[in-house]
């Protein structure tokens, strides 16, 4: 299921059989729901245009998004959204929550994490994400953000990563770090690998030549080089394994 509309369990057959989202129903729900989601910085509106179809307008700081209501209804239909007022309202609220991250939000609330830097999922890099509830949305600097502003936002995000609370679990020769609500935040700990070594030692595990197995959006595994390589080989998911000193050489996405 399209993550923008919430959920994630709708199978292919369910999506193919899903009833269409009626544009008129979506317009009625949007008119009722969008005002409650607006803030002093976020403008949400349905603009009715004669002969051209209604348009949903989303504006927040430098970000602007306009989408035809019919197009949004088609996207929801393909995602398998339940065509009831409650189902459409939930999907619409999720869609708003997935809106692009503004430069200001990244500067004041961003966190540095590791994410895939290529489509083939062979390399990772540092990325700024902003948390919205149980979501952590990636930030792409706008065209108006200069280099100095981008560097300040990234530096501040790195600092905030030190304060992310993670769960540490030791299983034999392996230390696992995870975040109980937002999985992608598990990699925030990697901004300070020396603290991870100290935490693992305090939990009874001393790791010589620590290597990390990074699978973005999953817990981070740390172990000695041989065990880390074995862990990476046993998983079916794409991952990157590296010595902890290699984390400082990773670039920003």
pLDDT digits (tens, 9 = 90+) for 117-174: 999 999 999 999 999 999 999 999 999 999 999 999 999 999 999 999 999 999 999 9
Q: Choose the weakest-confidence range: 6-10, 12-16, 70-74, 83-87.
A: 12-16
**75-88: average pLDDT:** 94
pLDDT tens-place string over residues 200-222: 999 999 998 999 999 999 999 99
Return the pLDDT at 9: 45
Q: How far is CA 34 from CA 29, 68, 71, 93, in A?
A: 8, 15, 17, 8
DSSP labels, 2-14: -GGGS-----HHH
Q: What values do phi and psi take at 47, rounded to 5?
A: -100, 115
Q: What values do phi and psi take at 66, rounded to 5?
A: -130, 130
Radius of gyration of the chain (CA): 21
pLDDT tens-place string over residues 40-69: 999 999 998 766 689 999 999 999 999 999
Task: Give me the chain's average pLDDT, please.
Answer: 92
What distance in Å separates the CA atoms of residue 215 and residue 220, rounded to the nearest whole number?
A: 7
Confidence band for 18, pLDDT divided at 50, 70 and 90: low
In a 10 Å sphere around its CB, with 0-12 CB exposed, 13-18 middle and 19+ buried, how is residue 35 labelled? exposed
What distance in Å separates the CA atoms of residue 110 and residue 158, rounded to the nearest whole number?
A: 8
Q: Name the pTM for this structure.
A: 0.89
Strands 42-47 and 55-60, bridge-based pairing: antiparallel
Return the pLDDT at 175: 97
């Amino acid at each position: 299921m399209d993550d923008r509309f919430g959920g994630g369990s709708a199978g292919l057959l369910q999506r193919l059989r899903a009833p269409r989202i009626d544009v008129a129903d979506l317009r009625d729900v949007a008119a009722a729901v969008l005002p409650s989601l607006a803030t002093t910085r976020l403008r949400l509106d349905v603009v009715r245009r004669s002969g051209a179809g209604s348009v949903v307008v989303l504006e927040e700081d430098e970000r602007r998004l306009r989408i035809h209501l019919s197009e949004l209804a088609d996207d929801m239909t393909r995602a398998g959204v339940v065509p009831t007022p409650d189902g459409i309202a939930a999907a619409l609220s999720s869609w708003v929550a997935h809106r692009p991250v503004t430069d200001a939000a990244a500067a004041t609330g961003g966190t540095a994490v590791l994410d895939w830097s290529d489509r083939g999922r062979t390399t990772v890099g540092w990325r700024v994400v902003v948390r919205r509830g149980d979501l952590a949305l990636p930030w792409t600097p706008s065209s108006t953000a200069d280099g100095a502003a981008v560097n300040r936002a990234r530096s501040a995000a790195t600092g905030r990563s030190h304060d992310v609370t993670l769960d540490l679990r030791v299983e034999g020769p392996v230390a696992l770090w995870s975040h109980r609500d937002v999985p992608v935040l598990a990699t925030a700990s990697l901004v300070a690998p020396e603290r991870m070594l100290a935490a693992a030692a305090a939990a009874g595990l001393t790791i010589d030549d620590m290597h990390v197995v990074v699978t973005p959006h999953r817990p981070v595994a740390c172990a000695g080089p041989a065990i880390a390589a074995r862990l990476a080989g046993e998983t079916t998911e794409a991952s990157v394994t590296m010595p902890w000193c290699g984390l400082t050489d990773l670039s920003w996405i």
